[in-house]
Amino acid sequence: MMRLVLALLLALPGVATAQDAPAPVIPLNHLPAIAGDYFPLASEATGRTYHIYIRHPQGYAADPGKRYPIVYLLDGDSAFPLLAAQYLFLTIDDKLPEAIVVGIAYGGFDPSVNKRDVDYGPQAEAFHRFLETELFPRVEAKTRVDPRQRILVGQSYGGSFVLWSALNRPDAFWGRIASNPSFRLNSEQLWAPQAPPQRRDLRLFVVSGTDNAAEARQQAIRWVGQRSARASMAVERIDIPGGTHSANLADAYRAALLKLFDWKPTRPDPH
């Protein structure tokens, strides 16, 4: 009789089984290299909800008066766990100054959720408005940021958006890193004139893997050649020997950050 009652209960709508139970939440604070904060952010500008991850610098709590550069990572679903953790090693081996690292994630790779092809392309204007009017105020009100040292990092489609940002909203970021930018997005806009920046210390790095697709690499070389001849923003190309389209993102990140901070790598302490 009890088996019959249980079977009937399980058949009722809304009665969850053990298999339907939500997976336990594992806090990122148990991963000290990327520990910090998280919050969802519903955007009025784009109509989408983003998952925002924040990595606090080592020693963040111990020095409450210190302010830090801040790195905003596009494609945070994959870039944040890779590059936020790498920043720790850059401070150890390369002695880079610590920074706050922010990942802007969609919460999945499925095209029904992940709209990078829209946000970084046709709706770049709306997405940039989300960054400037919704994300910056929220993140920078709750972290000790030096707003004059904002850095934007993007790969492929994200790299295309970085270039769009440099041309259309140059003063929003102090430093920009475009890793193997795709010229399939914003193709016409990327060759348009740049809006004149107010600041004179802005820097843009276009990182190109020598083993990236030949056409994309040639477009990147041509774009940098055209832009670097103009004095409105410092533009520099960095080649990654043997670098492919996406697998060398961490190498691109390191190479550009070293130049951005004008830092010279040092040998790590063998002990």
Pick out the chain residues at pLDDT < 50: 1-18, 270-271
Q: Phi first, then psi: give them for residue 212, nearest 5 degrees.
A: -70, 165
Share of residues in the chain with pLDDT > 70 (%)? 86
Predicted pLDDT of residue 60: 92
pTM for the predicted model, two decimal places: 0.88
Give domain limits for the chain: 34-260
Residue 268: both structure tokens together: 């790590």
Residue 221: both structure tokens together: 């070389």
In a 3-state reduction of DSSP, which class is residue 103? strand
Predicted pLDDT of residue 233: 83
What's the mean per-residue pLDDT of the chain? 88
Polymer length of the chain: 271
The single-letter code of the amino acid at 52 is I
* Residue 48 and residue 75 in contact, taking contact as beta carbons nearer than 8 Å: no
CATH of 34-260, one of 3.40.50.1820, 3.40.50.20, 3.30.465.10, 2.60.40.420: 3.40.50.1820
Query: How many CA atoms does the CB half-sphere of 94 hold within 13 Å?
Result: 21
Provide long-range contacts, Cβ within 8 A and 24+ apart, for 29-36. 31/85, 33/84, 33/85, 33/88, 34/80, 34/81, 34/84, 34/85, 34/101, 36/60, 36/100
**How do residues 53-74 score in pLDDT, each as one tens digit?**
999 999 998 989 999 999 999 9
**How do residues 197-251 score in pLDDT, each as one tens digit?**
999 999 999 999 999 999 999 999 999 998 877 657 899 999 999 999 999 999 9
149 Cβ neighbours under 8 A, 6+ residues apart: 68, 69, 70, 174, 175
